[in-house]
Amino acid sequence: MEIIIAEPIGYCYGVERALNITYEALKSKSDNIYTLGPIIHNPQVVKKLKDNGIKIIENLENVDIGTLIIRAHGIDPKKLERARKMGFKVIDATCPFVKKNQKRATQLVKEGYFLVVIGEKEHPEILGILANANGPFMVIENKSDYKKLPDVKRVGVITQTTQSMENFISVVSYLLEKHKEIKIFNTICDETIERQKSARNIANKVDLMLVVGGKNSANTKRLAEIGKSINENTYHIETSEEIIKKWLKGVKKVGISGGASTPKWLIDEAIKKIKKITSH
């Protein structure tokens, strides 16, 4: 049995940074350290943080004032300002690439472009970008949204940092046919591009492809979609517990890919489980 591991694997730069910031804050031993929503999209890691004392809140009301860590996906700047005014000590763990994306969106709106953001409408990164840009916009998830696009002349385009290149290209191609003036920033982060390339490459070579990561993680879901589009025998799992013996029947090569918020130890556990099943 050969196991091929995708590259890169383990946390991406932005997630690692956000977690380091969070663990640093925990050293203060304060009782009230909060994140507004989960700091990253990995339930197993978030559970560990909770066990260590991090409190996840959905809004600032009805909690004692303390330290507020801003998640890697970013936040509405008005909420951030409000937290400061209320007396929270705010620590911003927004990924610098997400910050850059927010700035691009703001710049496009200032330049008078109608903002098109390619991504998931309810994803916190998108909500943060839109709140920062504060102008006319539309979020395009896929082709079904095309018809809703208003008849505007100047369109400024950015994309969620974890979008798939295929969807980005497909939406941009559509927009190029419809609009005379378009300014496009490819804001898919390099780490996402590398992971998608690697998943694509491995899915082509293996009998079974496992994508490990939070079921709520946009970039992990995308890796699983990419894998599935190439290799029908692709499964998105959160933990090794989900690996089923029958998946490995007759399998000679297994590929493993992981989302940007998937810790290396979850990958190692998956490898261990595969080896355990196949050694019998």
Which residues are part of the catalytic machinery? Answer: 125
Span interacting with ligand SF4, options 25-33, 148-156, 185-193, 225-233, rule CB under 6 A:
185-193
- Given 39, 189, 199, 223, the residue binding ligand SF4 (CB under 6 A): 189
198 makes contact with ligand SF4 (CB under 6 A)? no
Site for ligand SF4 in 8-67 (CB under 6 A): 12-15
* Smallest gap from residue 74 Cβ to ligand SF4 (A): 10
Cβ atoms within 10 Å of 136's Cβ, excluding its own: 12
The residue assigned the tokens 């005014």 is: 85
Site for ligand SF4 in 89-128 (CB under 6 A): 95, 97-98
162 or 198: whose CB is closer to ligand SF4?
Answer: 162
132 makes contact with ligand SF4 (CB under 6 A)? no
Q: Kindly compute the dihedral angle of the four CA atoms of residues 42, 118, 129, 106, in this order, to the nearest 10 degrees.
A: 150
Site for ligand SF4 in 213-242 (CB under 6 A): 219
13 or 185: whose CB is closer to ligand SF4?
Answer: 13
123 or 273: whose CB is closer to ligand SF4?
Answer: 123
> Which three-class secondary structure string do you get for the chain?
CEEEECCCCCCCHHHHHHHHHHHHHHCCCCCCEEEECCCCCCHHHHHHHHHCCEEEECCCCCCCCCEEEECCCCCCHHHHHHHHHHCCEEEECCCHHHHHHHHHHHHHHHCCCEEEEECCCCCHHHHHHHHHHCCCEEEECCHHHHHHCCCCCEEEEEECCCCCHHHHHHHHHHHHHHCCEEEECCCCCHHHHHHHHHHHHHHCCCCEEEEECCCCCHHHHHHHHHHHHHCCCEEEECCHHHCCHHHHCCCCEEEEEECCCCCHHHHHHHHHHHHHHHCC
168 makes contact with ligand SF4 (CB under 6 A)? no
d(CA 73, CA 161): 10
161 makes contact with ligand SF4 (CB under 6 A)? yes
* Smallest gap from residue 10 Cβ to ligand SF4 (A): 11
191 makes contact with ligand SF4 (CB under 6 A)? yes
* Smallest gap from residue 16 Cβ to ligand SF4 (A): 8
Q: Which residue is nearest to ligand SF4 (CB)?
A: 14
- Given 260, 266, 267, 270, the residue binding ligand SF4 (CB under 6 A): 260
Q: Are the beta carbons of 72 and 13 closer than 8 angstroms?
A: no
* Smallest gap from residue 214 Cβ to ligand SF4 (A): 13
202 makes contact with ligand SF4 (CB under 6 A)? no
**Residue count, binding to ligand SF4 (CB under 6 A):** 15
Interface residues toward ligand SF4, by CB under 6 A? 12-15, 72, 95, 97-98, 161-162, 189, 191-192, 219, 260
